[in-house]
A and B are shown apart, each in its own frame.
Chain A
Amino acid sequence: MMRILGRIWLWGVYAFLYIPILVVVVYSFNDARYSTSWKGFTLRWYELLANNRPLLDSVLNSLSVACLSATLATFLGVLAALCIRRYRFPGRKILHGTLYVLTVSPEIVMGISLLMFFIVCGLQLGILSLIIAHTTLSLPFAAVTVLARLAEFDESLMEAARDLGASEWQAFRMVMLPMISPAVAAGWLLSFTLSMDDVLISFFVTGPTFEVLPLRIYSMVRLGVKPDINALSAIMFGVTVLLVLAAWLLGTKVKRKN
């Protein structure tokens, strides 16, 4: 009895999670501008999107910022995780705690603090401020991901490498890095997604000339329901599904290889 109730609950919640977005996907093909009744299948909203220059520009902007900030954040995150795990220095515990606090810290706080910081420093708000902000946002997540892997890492392997003549850098490059590369890749992917998705921080630290996709969507959505937003939502949902599946399959393949 409990089991049946549990099953119903399970699938009920999945329905709750998916139905709204699936409805939007369905409507993206609806040949009707304002009505919610079905008027026929069409792809014209997608065509509209394809011709939306500002939208496409914002996608490009988002991709470049995401790639750059993800790479930087992963680089810094790996270094941070390494320092915390392997080296003893004053403030190590504080650093560790700070990273965890940053992962749960409300983004709006980071957004306004960086806004003020940039203005006080005289930095022009634009792609650079955005990259710095996104890197700072993603860094803790990348670090925490790598730290989790390092916690299971066999320390004697690094000692063996040094015993055989490797310097700290060589040991890291030839022994540790290859072994933690799945976690590093996961950290990069995580940082990339955080950057692509971010609204709150981007809202405050980007300049008028540089628009990113989430902000473009935000201004579109504020203006009300429009069929091209449906199409955009459908595309973004589709991309998410593909990416998650790809990451999943990659993860299981790596696990099987090891």
Chain B
Amino acid sequence: MPENSNSIIELRGITKDFEDTRALDGIDLRIGNGEFLTLLGPSGCGKTTILRILSGFETPDAGEVLLEGKVVNDVPPERRQVNTVFQSYALFPHMTVSENVAFGLRMQRRPKAEIAERVAEALRMVHLEKLGDRKPSQLSGGQQQRVALARAVVNNPLVLLLDEPFSALDYKLRCRMQVEIKRLQRRLGITFVFVTHDQEEAFAMSDRVVVMNQGRIEQIGTPQEVYEEPRNLFVARFVGEINILPGRITAMKEPGLYEAEIEGVLFPLRSARAFAEGERVHVLLRPEDVRLLEPAEVGDVPHLSGRIEDTVYKGATVKINILTDNGKTLSVAEFFNEDDQEINYHTGERVAITWVDGWEVVLPHDAG
């Protein structure tokens, strides 16, 4: 992310308190023009508060909000070039779809002909051309959602804010909408700031993801960075499933390559971080990073020993729960291979546990 220039939004040191709770604690964030950024985190982490500060419905207790380089802390919502797609859609029930979509343009006092044209185009973009004269109550949830989108987008805002807009839709519709909205964003080139608690959703659409917890930013990065290189245990746990093994660094072999003792076995560990000899660490492994071998085949390769507790067939993958000899539970995911006769996973079967070299993530012991 470049240092300055292209940031259309900047938050500097934003703090916000509500009654007794601190909703945001010193948030610094830069969002680039044309970027699709998602704020991801559990309920109460502050992601919606950031959105409301960006739209102007909340004012920060400390810090600055900059839009296009200008401080906008005291600019009210109606004068910011920012539009919001609300979680409840907030469509005006007494107006038709067209009137709803036209509302923002009317507020800008655009000429009637221009309004009509832009409304029609916006409805075309969301595939609702024929429904302009309907009232919101006559539309399905998915259609209402798209009207809310059109109503916001038609104003050509600098930034579009989306507050968990798909939470009321069923799974298949959600997935379809995620694709559509990504396409829409690419086509319009508008900066999108999206809020969700659903990790898969965030990954499906975003250029960058901001993982938040209790009013603080835990990590910012591309979906791949956040998934494969989590900065701390919270991010690791929140974004997908994770196995965490406690270990101790025994030696440094070369820069980036360490030797560590995990459950009594010495393993090579790769990490760009610097660790001292004797330091305690967490070794993080995604379920798909783990490799299971038959005890007979494993040879000299460093491995842990354990027993299969149960297997869960998920269609495309199989999830295997392992109990190591030291009592640790591990979760392993493998693609289900119909033809593979080599390993049949049976409960109680003994396995050797290892992982793909370099796929591990090593974190210091106190990286909560």
Contact = CB atoms under 8 A, between A and B. Distances in A.
Given A159-B57, A178-B94, A164 B155 contact: yes
A139 to B, nearest CB: 27
A167 interface: yes
Interface string B70-113: 00000011110011101010111110000000011001100000
Interface residues of A, number: 18
Contacts of B88: 154, 156
Contacts of B83: 163-164
B18 to A, nearest CB: 14
Nearest to B161: A163
A160 interface: yes
B197 interface: no
B103 A156 contact: no
Interface string A64-77: 00000000000000
A225 interface: no
Given A166-B107, A170-B107, A157 B92 contact: yes
A166 B84 CA distance: 14
Interface string B33-70: 00000000000000000000001010000000000000
B76 A162 contact: yes
A165 B55 contact: no
A175 B90 CA distance: 11
Nearest to A181: B94
A175 B92 contact: yes
Given A156-B86, A170-B107, A162 B78 contact: yes
B151 interface: yes
B84 A179 contact: no
A159 B104 contact: no
A165 B108 contact: yes
A117 to B, nearest CB: 40
B194 to A, nearest CB: 16
Given A161-B103, A175-B92, A167 B86 contact: no
B55 A163 contact: yes
A163 B77 contact: yes
Contacts of B93: 179, 258
B90 A156 contact: yes
Contacts of B152: 163-164
B84 A163 contact: yes
B151 A179 contact: no
A156 B92 CA distance: 10
Contacts of B92: 157, 160-161, 175
Nearest to B148: A160
A166 B56 CA distance: 13
Contacts of B86: 156, 159-160
Contacts of A154: 88, 90
Contact of B151 (A159, A164, A166, A258): A164
A196 to B, nearest CB: 31
A166 B104 CA distance: 8
B94 A179 contact: yes
Nearest to A166: B107
B83 to A, nearest CB: 6
Contact of B84 (A160, A170, A174, A178): A160
Contacts of A175: 92
A173 to B, nearest CB: 12
Contacts of B82: 163
Contacts of B78: 162-167
A174 B83 CA distance: 18
Nearest to A258: B93
Contact of A159 (B77, B79, B107, B108): B77
The 4 closest A-B pairs by CB, nearest first: A165-B107, A164-B104, A160-B90, A156-B90
Given A159-B84, A160-B92, A164-B151, 19 more contacts: A154-B88, A156-B88, A157-B90, A157-B92, A159-B90, A160-B84, A163-B55, A163-B77, A163-B152, A164-B104, A164-B107, A164-B152, A165-B79, A165-B104, A165-B107, A166-B78, A166-B103, A170-B107, A175-B92
Interface of B: 55, 57, 76-79, 82-84, 86, 88, 90-94, 103-104, 107-108, 151-152, 155
7 contacts: A159-B77, A160-B91, A162-B57, A163-B84, A165-B155, A167-B78, A174-B103
